[in-house]
């Protein structure tokens, strides 16, 4: 266990602790996306005055009008917080000076070379450094490799006049958001916290204890950073395993979904994971590569993690192969020139989040082989700009009319939103390629369905 750096609470720390305990502390949250916005709402609901900072003026304008831009965080949650003055948004980062606690929730994507891109974290830390004052607590929540808080954030904040643990306080607490999860919202998920010294840890624990069900102290920021990666690598590896089993069992004529449903009846020693068309979201497709990159600094090759990433990355190619085979076998038709209708653009059901969605990769792969591709998603009606797929921006969801379904040579189910009538799809489509076992769960057993 890493020994916690000793630090005795000074007058500034005691004053901040008292402001947190009485909820007079002002909380600034930088980055108002899928992590920052629910966190801002939560602290405001718990009685803190919250200012959300973002470079996107469209977001701040909507929030200050009491409106939302994320589907599972409705305007009816935001509006009363804005009206009461508990929550407001700003693009003016000079307002950071007035905050007692500052939480960083900015993206940490991968570069084209699949290496960590910490530019958002570095730029944000530099911006905070311009306005930092003694007595403030700064917490990084963005997913990253172990060492980021110490190696990237702290140097950007420290000056000759201000030192971490003496003048300001620095911590890391990994976000654990699961967009659309109706059982475990932000308040119901325990928070792991690692502080740069005992005082920073104590202050960060006090802040999160005021908002979430439970806090879990870690011995250092690096340990807390490792916790986040471990959680998502665990999921990535197990999803890769069932994806590989899917391919093997399919060759044997065995339904992997039936196998998993039977296996999960064992009350010990098994946890169900499910295959799919590829990984999506910000964490699972990205976090493992943060650790593999950092491990190279220590001369360690992460073969197991990289193999899982390779298997998951290849899943969209497997889906295209199955689709091509099904078209040829069922309709004597080549993929080139075929009209494909993709159902679902979001990376998971019932959310409007398309980050790293395999649907975007599938569109590109299919069109590269000459297919004509449309998509239907009642939640994401237009493709937003993205770093990886900029040329797809602006495309609009196709209405799911009878004519659209009948005209498609194949319907490819990528995301199984509850609002979609999949039985109707089964009745009208000549061929349905299902990557989520959606048709079986909907009770449709037609011969026009192929699982992929």
Catalytic residue ranges: 283
- Residue 129's CB: how many other CB atoms inside 10 A? 17
Q: Cα dihedral sign for 84, 88, 94, 97?
A: positive
Whether the Cβ atoms of residue 26 and residue 37 lie closer than 8 Å to each other: no
Distance (Å, whole) CA 39 – CA 139: 13
Q: Residue 262: how many CB atoms within 10 A of its CB? A: 9
C-beta separation of 355 from 280 below 8 A: yes
Burial, 8: exposed, middle or buried (Cβ in 10 Å; 0-12, 13-18, 19+)?
exposed
Q: Which residue has the tokens 């449709």?
A: 444
Select from 172, 160, 166 the least CA-distant residue to 129: 160
**Tokens (6 digits) for 106:** 């900015």
Distance CA 378, CA 88 (A): 30
Cα gap 346→414, rounded to integer Å: 8
Query: What is the Cα–Cα distance from 437 to 452, expressed in whole angstroms?
Result: 9
Is 435 in contact with 413 (CB distance < 8 Å)? yes
CA distance readout (Å), 436 to 6, 202, 359, 417? 51, 44, 13, 11
CA distances from 257 to 212, 439, 452 (A): 36, 12, 11
Place of tokens 């659209």: 404
* The residue count for the chain: 452
The residues that bridge with 339 in the sheet, in sequence order, are 372
- Please state, in angstroms and rounded to a whole number, the distance separating the CA atoms of residues 148 and 170: 12
112 contact partners, CB below 8 Å, separation of at least 6: none
In this structure, is the dihedral angle defined by the CA atoms of residues 430, 434, 438 and 443, taken in order, positive or negative? Answer: positive
Distance CA 434, CA 452 (A): 6
Q: What single-letter DSSP state applies at residue 110?
A: B
């Amino acid at each position: 266990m890493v020994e916690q750096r000793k630090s005795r609470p000074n007058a500034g720390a005691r004053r901040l602790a008292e402001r947190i305990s009485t909820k007079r502390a002002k909380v600034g949250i930088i980055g108002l996306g899928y992590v920052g916005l629910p966190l801002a709402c939560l602290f405001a609901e718990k009685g803190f005055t919250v200012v959300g900072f973002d470079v996107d003026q469209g977001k701040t304008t909507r929030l200050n009008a009491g409106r939302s831009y994320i589907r599972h965080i409705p305007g009816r949650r935001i509006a009363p917080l804005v009206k009461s003055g508990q929550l407001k948004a700003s693009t003016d980062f000079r307002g950071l000076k007035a905050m007692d606690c500052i939480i960083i929730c900015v993206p940490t994507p991968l570069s084209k070379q699949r290496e960590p891109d910490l530019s958002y974290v570095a730029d944000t830390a530099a911006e905070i450094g311009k306005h930092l004052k003694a007595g403030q607590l700064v917490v990084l929540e963005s997913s990253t490799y172990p060492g980021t808080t110490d190696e990237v954030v702290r140097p950007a904040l420290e000056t000759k006049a201000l030192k971490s643990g003496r003048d300001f306080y620095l911590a890391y607490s990994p976000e654990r958001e699961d967009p659309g999860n109706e059982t475990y919202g932000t308040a119901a998920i325990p928070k792991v916290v690692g502080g740069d010294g005992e005082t920073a840890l104590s202050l960060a624990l006090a802040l999160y204890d005021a908002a979430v069900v439970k806090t879990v102290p870690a011995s250092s920021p690096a340990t807390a950073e490792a916790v986040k990666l471990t959680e998502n690598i665990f999921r990535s590896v197990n999803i890769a395993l069932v994806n590989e089993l899917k391919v093997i069992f399919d060759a044997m004529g065995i339904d992997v979904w039936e196998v998993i449903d039977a296996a999960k009846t064992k009350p010990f020693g098994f946890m169900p994971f499910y295959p799919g068309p590829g990984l999506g979201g910000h964490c699972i497709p990205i976090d493992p590569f943060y650790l593999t990159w950092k491990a190279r600094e220590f001369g360690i090759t992460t073969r197991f993690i990289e193999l899982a990433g390779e298997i998951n990355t290849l899943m969209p190619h497997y889906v295209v192969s199955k689709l091509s085979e099904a078209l040829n076998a069922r309709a004597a038709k080549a993929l080139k020139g075929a009209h494909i209708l993709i159902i679902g653009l979001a990376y998971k059901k019932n959310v409007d989040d398309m980050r790293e969605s395999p649907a975007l990769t599938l569109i590109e792969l299919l069109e590269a082989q000459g297919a004509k591709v449309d998509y239907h998603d009642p939640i994401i009606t237009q493709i937003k700009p993205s770093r990886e797929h900029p040329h797809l921006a602006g495309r609009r969801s196709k209405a799911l009319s009878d004519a659209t379904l009948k005209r498609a040579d194949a319907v490819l189910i990528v995301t199984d939103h509850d609002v979609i009538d999949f039985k109707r799809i089964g009745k009208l489509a000549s061929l349905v390629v299902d990557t989520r076992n959606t048709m079986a769960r909907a009770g449709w057993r037609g011969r026009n369905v192929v699982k992929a």
